[in-house]
Structure 1
Amino acid sequence: MLLKNCFPVLLAFVALTFVSCKKKKSDNPAPNVQEETLAFALPDIQLGKYNMAMDSSYALKVNVTSKMPDAGVKVMLSVATETGAIPLAQDPVPDTKTPQFTINLRHLKPLKTYEVTVWLSSLGNTANVTTHQVFYITNKSDQ
C-alpha cells in the first residue's frame, strides 16, 4: 500500500528532475566567433625612424592587413615630443570598419620632432589588440 502512494510522487520527482536538467536552445549562447589576430601597416612611414612633415599637419595612411573584425576597430594614438615626452593633443580618431583609412596628425610645431605611437583594437573582442607601431615625425617648415 505504501508503494502505491509513493510511486506517483517518485515518478513526478524523476520527471521534474529530467525536465529541469534538459538544456533549452535559449540557454546556449551564440558560438564565439574567433577573430583573426589584428595587424596593420603604415605604408608611407619608416617605423622607428625619422619621417618628415612639410607643415603643421600630416595625413597618416593606415592599412589593416588582417581580416577586418565585423564590429570594426578602435584606433588609439599617442603623440608626444621626442624630448620631454610632452603630449600633443590630437583630434579623436573615429572607430572604423574600413581596412584603409587616414589619421590626420595636427598641431605639429615647426622644427620639432614627435614620437607617434599607433595601435588598434577590435570593437568585438577587446582582447584582440595589435602591437604598438612607433615612428618619429618632424615638422620641417620654419614657420
Structure 2
Amino acid sequence: MDGVKPVQTPMATSAQLSQSTGKPHEDATLYRSTVGALQYATLTRPDISYLVNKVCIFLKAPTDDHWQAVKSILRYLKATVSHGLLLSRSSSNRLMAYSDVDWAGCIDDRKSTGGFAIFMGENLISWSARKQPTIAQSSTEFKY
C-alpha cells in the first residue's frame, strides 16, 4: 500500500454493491483476510464500520467490484492514519445518542441497515451498525 494514492472519502455515496455485479475475484482468500483485518480496525476506527459491514456481506463469493471497494477503504485509511478513537477528559457528563437507518438499502435482499452512536461528553462510548433481520414494509419518521 506504499505506492497507492490516498483518498479523503472511503467510498462513493452512490456506490451500490451487489452479489450479481462484477466477475468473481481470483483470490477469495486475500479478500477474506483483508476484510478480517478491516474488522479489527473498526475497534478504533468507527468511521469505517458501516463500509466494512457492507463488504463483509460478500465474503462467500467476492467479485472484483467488492475488491475495489475494499481497496478504497484501505486507501482512505492510508490518508487518515492519524485519525482514531480518542478519549479525552471532559467536564461534561451529557449523554447524546444518534441513530439512523437506510430504508431497504441492500439491493440484494431489500433489508435495511441501522446504526447508532452514543457519546458521553465528547467521547464516543458505544456504536453499532447492523442489517435488520426483517424486511421493512414501511417507514416512520420520529423527531424528539
Give the alignment's TM-score, normalised by structure 1: 0.25
1 or 2, which has the higher helix percentage? 2
1 or 2, which has the higher strand percentage? 1
Whose relative contact order is higher, 1 or 2, with alpha carbons under 8 Å and at least 6 apart? 1
Give the alignment's TM-score, normalised by structure 2: 0.24
